[in-house]
């Protein structure tokens, strides 16, 4: 993972120390703490100068430690903030994907070839590529926007950066994750920068997808959800009752066991891809001991105790070496309990005591007891006080949430920032299921965090999905869920990447793996959720069935609880604001 920055200007630039403003440099340095580099040069187009500057800040995760930007002998420049997890490009186990991509781009002789390469990669990415011979600057994000990239267009300059700052005289916007963008430098003296940008539409899914199960499960039509289900019969009730093809029906049935198996296999592969090939110390497995802290963890999970995070933990247990602990990070914000002193009603006084027993803390502790006992699970309780929240929001978080500015952005951004920091009390579970405090102060060393985002959008996890079904039926629900996934880049993931990566950790989203998305998109809505069932049962029904098969009984019946409510950050400042309102605290 990296922090990347680029500026194109038609006016000469004078840089004192860094090619980017100091406040942005500090944020980018935290994203990429292992090595950084920069370059700045001038080119001439029709005897008129154009000034280019690039900076890269690297968090080392794969292959050789590679300084960015990469500059070729031909003058091409690449900044790559991403991971190649598949697609048309193959990256060997111990190779560096930035080097592999640069080598491939250098073979391109025209724009179509560049577009083909950049659009056919599976994995999260934000990138900037300058091709010297064509005087073209390419940039963009993956179709889900899993990596942040902001842009700022001024009269005489064009800036791209992983992060921005609200106090600069620069108005940043998130680069939409709908296109691959190409800035024609030969036009910027004659046209406004915006008019010199050419866009190439980016499909929701890249070219090469794992279609292993295409011939194993039937092609359902959304209308089947409406016509084949009785009023009091769920799709899974029907699957359990039918074990062969009904020759008189146009609908082909498959077993619930098959659906669970397919979803399990493809989600497990997604998790394995995201926890493999990390820098790990050599270790003799015969020396395995179940002692917390015996082996340095490499993987952490943002762990609320909800179904998404618990399923990811269960699957990660199958992929991460058993001798290696896994950090489960659980965040809670300061709450107050009122206690009344004895005395007459008129003179009764109230004491307020501070606690952190929020819903996510309680569910996290209970869910941990259902995870396999032959693994060291580092349960990290991150407790955030009101004073600390205010201080860190002012100093860092507001700049990371920017350019978003709603109350919801504030709540989620702050919760994710503190969770990803990974500093708290370290607990483990003993053989009799009791909690033991191991360390009063623990700071997670992991560089990779797994996060369950994307599950609600694809599996009907939000309460608004139930409302949409009630008002518009199955067709309306299907359209709503498609819209949720389509807008996830602008509403969620750029902000989340900026806040989490500020601690030098890379967030990875197994539910948004291209192959997982492709698989779920082929299933009818009624397989993924059934809004006619009560809360805690009808949402994400396919995932609940999978959790049950993994022995995760507690989380498989929990209703959806958003992070701002589960961590209680939405209540800590006593505000009655609505989520969509502009947040004055972010100014």
pLDDT in tens, 197-229: 999 998 765 545 565 655 554 444 333 444 334
- Cβ atoms of 153 and 194 within 8 Å: the answer is yes
Evaluate if residue 537 carries a pLDDT over 90: no
Cis peptide before 69 (omega within 30 of 0): yes
SS (H, E, C) 87-141: ECCCCCCCCCHHHHHHHHHCCCCCHHHHHHHHHCEECCEEEEEEECCCCEEEEEE
**Predicted pLDDT of residue 329:** 98
**Predicted pLDDT of residue 372:** 92
pLDDT in tens, 247-285: 333 344 556 778 889 999 999 999 999 999 888 765 444
**Predicted pLDDT of residue 290:** 40
Quote the percentage of the chain above a pLDDT of 70. 85
Confidence of residue 17 (pLDDT cuts 50, 70, 90): low
What is the token pair recorded at 46? 């029709």
- Scored b (16 or more CB within 10 A) or e, 98-134 reads bbbbbebbeebeebeebbebbbebbbbbbbbbbbbeb
Rounded-to-integer distance, Cα 393 and Cα 99, Å: 37
Q: Name the range with the highest mean pLDDT among 91-95, 149-153, 290-294, 356-360.
A: 149-153
Mean pLDDT computed over 466-474: 93
Rounded-to-integer distance, Cα 55 and Cα 309, Å: 35
Confidence of residue 564 (pLDDT cuts 50, 70, 90): confident
Average pLDDT, the chain: 86
Q: What is the DSSP string of 33-94?
A: -SEEEEEEEEEEETTEEEEEEEEEEE---SSS---SSEE-TTS-EEEEEE---EES----TT
Mean pLDDT computed over 70-88: 95
Residue 160 φ/ψ region, left for φ over 0, alpha for ψ in the -120 to 50 degree band, beta for the rest: beta
E strand or H helix that includes residue 439: strand 435-443
pLDDT in tens, 478-503: 999 999 998 998 888 999 999 999 99
pLDDT in tens, 304-315: 999 999 999 999
**Predicted pLDDT of residue 347:** 55
Domains and CATH numbers, the chain: 2-201 (3.60.20.10), 257-273+297-340+351-586 (3.40.50.620)
Catalytic residue from among 2, 6, 499, 529: 2
Confidence of residue 557 (pLDDT cuts 50, 70, 90): confident
DSSP 582: B
**Predicted pLDDT of residue 505:** 97
Rounded-to-integer distance, Cα 398 and Cα 80, Å: 25
Evaluate if residue 382 carries a pLDDT over 60: yes
**Predicted pLDDT of residue 238:** 47
- Known active-site residue 298: no
DSSP 574: -
**Predicted pLDDT of residue 281:** 66
Evaluate if residue 230 carries a pLDDT over 70: no
Evaluate if residue 561 carries a pLDDT over 90: no
DSSP 26: H
């Amino acid at each position: 993972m990296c922090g990347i920055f680029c500026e194109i200007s038609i006016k000469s630039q004078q840089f004192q120390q860094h090619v980017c403003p100091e406040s942005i440099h500090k944020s980018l340095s935290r994203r990429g703490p292992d090595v950084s580099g920069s370059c700045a040069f001038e080119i001439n187009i029709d005897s008129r100068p154009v000034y280019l500057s690039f900076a890269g800040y690297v968090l080392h995760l794969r292959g050789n430690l590679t300084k960015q930007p990469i500059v070729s002998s031909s003058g091409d420049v690449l900044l790559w903030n991403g991971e190649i997890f598949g697609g048309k490009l193959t990256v060997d186990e111990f190779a560096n994907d930035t080097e592999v991509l640069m080598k491939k781009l250098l073979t391109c002789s025209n724009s179509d070839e560049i577009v083909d390469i950049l659009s056919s990669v599976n994995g999260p990415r934000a990138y900037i590529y300058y091709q010297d011979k064509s005087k073209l600057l390419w940039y963009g994000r993956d179709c889900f926007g899993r990596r942040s990239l902001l842009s700022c267009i001024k009269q005489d300059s064009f800036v791209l950066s992983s992060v921005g700052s609200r106090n600069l005289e620069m108005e940043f916007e998130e680069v939409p994750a709908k296109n691959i963008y190409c800035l024609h430098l030969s036009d910027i003296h004659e046209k406004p920068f915006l008019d010199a940008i050419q866009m190439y539409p980016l499909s929701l899914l890249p070219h090469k997808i794992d279609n292993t199960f295409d011939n194993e499960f039937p092609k359902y039509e959304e209308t089947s959800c409406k016509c084949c289900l009785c009023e009091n019969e769920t799709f899974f009730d029907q699957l359990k009752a039918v074990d062969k093809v009904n020759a008189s029906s146009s609908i082909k049935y498959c077993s619930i066991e098959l659906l669970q198996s397919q979803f399990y296999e493809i989600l497990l592969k997604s998790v394995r891809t995201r926890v493999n090939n990390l820098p790990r110390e050599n270790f003799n497995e015969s020396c395995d001991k179940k002692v917390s802290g015996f082996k340095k963890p490499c993987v952490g999970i943002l762990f609320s105790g909800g179904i998404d995070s618990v399923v990811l933990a269960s699957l990660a247990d199958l992929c991460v070496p058993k001798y290696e602990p896994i950090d489960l990070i659980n965040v809670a914000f300061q709450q107050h309990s009122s206690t009344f002193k004895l005395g007459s009603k008129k003179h009764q006084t109230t004491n307020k005591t501070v606690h952190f027993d929020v819903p996510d803390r309680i569910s996290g502790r209970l869910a941990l007891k259902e995870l396999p006992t032959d693994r060291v699970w580092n349960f990290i309780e991150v407790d955030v006080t009101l004073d600390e929240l205010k201080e860190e929001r002012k100093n860092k978080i507001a700049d990371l949430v920017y350019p978003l500015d709603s109350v919801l952005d504030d709540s989620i951004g702050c919760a994710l920032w503190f969770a990803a920091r990974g500093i708290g009390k370290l607990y483990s579970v003993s053989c009799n299921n009791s909690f033991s405090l191991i360390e009063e102060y623990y700071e997670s060393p992991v560089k990779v965090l797994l996060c369950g985002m994307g599950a609600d959008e694809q599996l009907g996890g939000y309460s608004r999905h139930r409302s949409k079904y009630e008002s518009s039926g199955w067709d309306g629900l299907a359209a709503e869920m498609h819209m949720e996934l389509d807008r996830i880049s602008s509403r969620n993931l750029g902000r989340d990447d900026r806040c989490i990566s500020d601690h030098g950790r890379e967030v990875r989203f197994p539910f948004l793996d291209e192959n997982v998305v492709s698989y779920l998109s082929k299933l009818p809505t009624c397989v993924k959720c059934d809004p006619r069932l009560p809360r805690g049962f009808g949402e994400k029904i396919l995932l609940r069935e999978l959790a049950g098969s993994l022995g995760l009984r507690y989380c498989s019946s929990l209703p959806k609880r958003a992070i701002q409510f589960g961590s209680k950050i939405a209540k800590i400042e006593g505000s009655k604001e609505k989520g969509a309102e502009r947040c004055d605290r972010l100014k």
